[in-house]
Amino acid sequence: MQQKQMGVAEWGMLLVLSLLWGGSFLFNGILVKSLPPFTIVTGRVLIAALALNVIVRVTGHVMPHDRASRAAFFGMGILNNMIPFCLIVWGQTHIASGLASILNATTPLFAVVVAHLMTSDEKMTGNRLFGVLVGFAGVAYMIGFDALRDLGANVLAQLAVLGAAISYSFAGIFGRRFRQMGMAPLIPAAGQVTASTILMLPIALVVDRPWTLAAPSAETWIALLGLALLSTAVAYVLFFRILAAAGATNLMLVTFLIPVSAILLGAAVLGEQLQGKHLVGMAMIAIGLAAIDGRLLARVRKRLA
């Protein structure tokens, strides 16, 4: 079967998604200073679920309540929310965000392998594997190999972030079923965070006992709302739209773009200086994405022929 490719619209949505998810590392960095991990994850999915279910009602959509749909929502909630959110938030309490970003950027590597084994239309190709490896190297170079100096320390935290990357890759494959079920992107976005809330709420209540915590500051509330509404609610509507149009492997390329978005936002909003390694890393990521997309290389080969 023909490999899925992304058009201009899909690439545009992927860039926006990278901005939204790039912000999640910033929001998490603020939240872990004052809230325990399970409370952060529960607050994230709870607020996102409330917002998305309101939008479902307002837009006239109807949430399906059959057994197959519920099972799919809970499966996606576990793979795409519960497992990776908890692992990343806990990991960020023990390792630097730069190292976490590099480890998170392994998601496409796992996605290529998982998609090759579990799908018929997203098989591994030489171009795709080359592009993923170059893109990953670009992320590491851009963030700085100094971040890798801590590789080996806090091994459990590093394994947690890698576990999140693996879970995301399986979630991308699992989520393909929603298009086959005829659901608009808004429905699985709302369904998975609702299921995640049902699963996470009792855990947070028993383990963290949030009522015993100090009252959150205004900064904490702003970070939590940004994490829930922007990096979760809006992001997952885009997530399922890209997944339906371009496939799981292409969707996971967003993890290459997240560090790029974070660095460019830092330069534009915070006045941080762009360094030479950032530009080189971005160029490597661009080469990797072009190789994965394949069309530019095909045109070059055609002209040479």
pLDDT digits (tens, 9 = 90+) for 137-190: 888 887 776 766 666 667 888 889 889 999 999 999 999 999 889 999 999 999
Q: At what angle do helices 254-269 and 97-104 cross, to 10 degrees?
A: 150
Which amino acid, 197?
T
Is 2 inside any structural domain?
Answer: no
Residue 296 pLDDT class (50, 70, 90 cuts): low
Cβ 31 vs Cβ 226: under 8 Å: no
Check whether 1 has a pLDDT greater than 60.
no
- With a threshold of 0.85, does the pTM exceed it? no
Is 220 inside any structural domain?
Answer: yes
Domain extent at residue 209 = 8-304
Is 117 inside any structural domain?
Answer: yes
pLDDT digits (tens, 9 = 90+) for 111-133: 888 888 888 877 878 888 888 88
Check whether 199 has a pLDDT greater than 50.
yes
Which amino acid, 72?
A
Domain count, the chain: 1
- Burial letters for 222-249: b for 16+ Cβ neighbours within 10 Å, e otherwise? ebbebbbbbbbbbbbbbbbbbbbbbbbb
pLDDT digits (tens, 9 = 90+) for 66-100: 999 999 999 999 999 999 989 988 887 887 766 77
Is 173 inside any structural domain?
Answer: yes
Closest by CA to 95, choosing from 38, 166, 161, 165, is: 161
137 vs 157: CA distance, rounded Å: 21
Is 267 inside any structural domain?
Answer: yes
Is 227 inside any structural domain?
Answer: yes
